[in-house]
Amino acid sequence: MSLARFLHWLSETGFSATLRESTWVEPIFETVHVLTLTLFLGFSVLLDLRLLGVVLRRRRVSEVLAQLNPWLFAGFAVMIVTGVLLFCGDPVAFYSTIFFRVKMIMLVSAGLNVLVFNWTVGRRVVEWDQGLSTPMGAKVAAILSLVLWVGIIAAGRGIAYALPPP
Amino acid sequence: MSELSALAKAFCQWCSNSFFGHGVRNSVWLFPSIEIIHLLALGVLGGTILIINLRLLGVRFRNEPVSDLARELQPWMISSLAVMLVSGFFLFASEAEKMYGNSAFRAKMASLALAIVFTFTLYRKVTLSEETQMSPVWNSVAALISLVLWTGVGLAGRAIGYV
């Protein structure tokens, strides 16, 4: 089945119709999606700033990672669940906007950035997290992450403007 | 109409008719761009407040003194709050006359005023005091009040578009 046909099929399901026609689904999921930014985006940005050596400098990177990661992942899970549900309410319209496509590409890139960090410089974190400055690889990962998240927020807002009003 | 609400209404009209009110309203890109800045600052403000509150509740950074963590995060909290206030003001100005009658907007401003006053008085006292001077109960109470007030601001903010 092609992607277009799958999205069309999804939009015709009773599940999608229920999400779309409910008065409360969109405001509630949208509100949770936006307010969870405090947890997910906030913690990610602080982590990136730690990797750049500008915040929480006196704490070891491994300690900051250990303290923030569980909450960051929980926030990410909430973002994904609410985001998928919002998408399922009107998959064809979402997919037709350029903002949605750009947002998905940037999301995957942000994920790859985390994986590459964990496989390379992040794997050796105990070797360098005592020092005053962080290695170049960590700084590059942090800047990439910050740029991608700014883009993802911007594209996310773009979707709201591009979609037909509910 | 009381004098205070007449004053608020006049202020809203002035904002709406000002050059920045006009400018944001008549531009296709300004409103969404300012909104993006508002949201990014929301992430940082919310993130710093959450970390301090999680520490006050003893859930995260348990080995760190509260005051150390709060002192380090404070500049980020204050600057992201400033960005939110300035960007929020421009968003407001473009729709100021509509906002005057918007009950969610009023609720947001009331809870925002409460949250700011609380954050810079009692909350500040609890987070920046030396560990031994404060009973841990006050840490939890302060964290819960902070969470309730800021969540209220966020929820009322979301509601502005729906009422």
Q: What band does B1 get if pLDDT is binned at 50, 70 and 90?
A: low
In the predicted model, is pLDDT for residue B104 greater than 90?
A: yes
B60 contacts on A by Cβ (under 8 Å): 67-68, 71
Which ipTM was obtained for this model?
A: 0.89
Query: What is the average per-residue pLDDT within B133-154?
Result: 90
Give residue B79's pLDDT: 96
A76 contacts on B by Cβ (under 8 Å): none
Query: What is the average per-residue pLDDT within A9-19?
Result: 93
Give residue A163's pLDDT: 85
Give residue A59's pLDDT: 87
Q: How far is residue B98 from each of residues B12, B13, B101, B158, measured CA to CA in Å?
A: 9, 10, 6, 16
Contact A136, A84 (CB under 8 A): no
Query: What is the average per-residue pLDDT within B91-105?
Result: 93
Query: What is the average per-residue pLDDT within A55-59?
Result: 86
In the predicted model, is pLDDT for residue B21 greater than 60?
A: yes
Give residue B161's pLDDT: 86
Q: How far is residue A47 from each of residues A99, A151, B54, B67, measured CA to CA in Å?
A: 26, 18, 16, 20
In the predicted model, is pLDDT for residue B66 greater than 80?
A: yes
Instruction: Report the alpha-carbon distance of residue B56 to residue B59 in Å, rounded.
Output: 8
Instruction: Report the alpha-carbon distance of residue B55 to residue B64 in Å, rounded.
Output: 8
The tokens for B152 are 């209220």
* Summary mean pLDDT of chain B: 92
Percent of chain A with pLDDT over 90: 75
A59 contacts on B by Cβ (under 8 Å): 64
Q: Does the beta-carbon distance from A59 to B64 stay under 8 Å?
A: yes
Q: Does the beta-carbon distance from B155 to A71 stay under 8 Å?
A: no
Out of A38, A150, A158, name the one closest to residue B47 (CB): A38
Q: Does the beta-carbon distance from A27 to B51 stay under 8 Å?
A: no
B154 contacts on A by Cβ (under 8 Å): 34-35, 38
Instruction: Report the alpha-carbon distance of residue B61 to residue A26 in Å, rounded.
Output: 35
Query: What is the average per-residue pLDDT within A160-165?
Result: 82
- At what angle are helices A136-162 and B30-56 packed, to 10 degrees? 120
Q: Does the beta-carbon distance from B47 to A56 stay under 8 Å?
A: no
Closest CA in chain B for residue A75: B47
Instruction: Report the alpha-carbon distance of residue B95 to residue B91 in Å, rounded.
Output: 7
Sign of CA dihedral B27, B33, B35, B41: negative
Q: Does the beta-carbon distance from A38 to B32 stay under 8 Å?
A: no
Give residue A129's pLDDT: 85
**B43 at A interface, C-beta within 8 A:** yes
Q: How far is residue A80 from each of residues A40, B5, B44, measured CA to CA in Å?
A: 11, 43, 20
* Cβ-Cβ contacts under 8 Å for B32 (sequence gap 6 or more): A157, A158, A161
Chains A–B, number of C-beta pairs less than 8 Å apart: 86
pLDDT higher at B135 or A7: A7
- pLDDT, tens digit, 9 for 90 and up, residues A116-140: 999 999 888 888 887 778 899 999 9
**A32 at B interface, C-beta within 8 A:** no
- pLDDT, tens digit, 9 for 90 and up, residues A104-116: 999 999 999 999 9
pTM of the model: 0.91
**B118 at A interface, C-beta within 8 A:** no
Out of B50, B64, B72, name the one closest to residue A42 (CB): B50
Residue type, A26: E
Burial track B91-120 (b if 16+ CB lie within 10 A, e otherwise): bbbbbbeebbebebbebbbebbebbeebbe
Out of B35, B76, B151, name the one closest to residue A157 (CB): B35
* DSSP code of residue A57: T
* Summary mean pLDDT of chain A: 92
**A73 at B interface, C-beta within 8 A:** no
In the predicted model, is pLDDT for residue B94 greater than 90?
A: yes
Q: Does the beta-carbon distance from B46 to A55 stay under 8 Å?
A: no
**A37 at B interface, C-beta within 8 A:** yes
Instruction: Report the alpha-carbon distance of residue B37 to residue B21 in Å, rounded.
Output: 17
Give residue A75's pLDDT: 95
B78 contacts on A by Cβ (under 8 Å): none
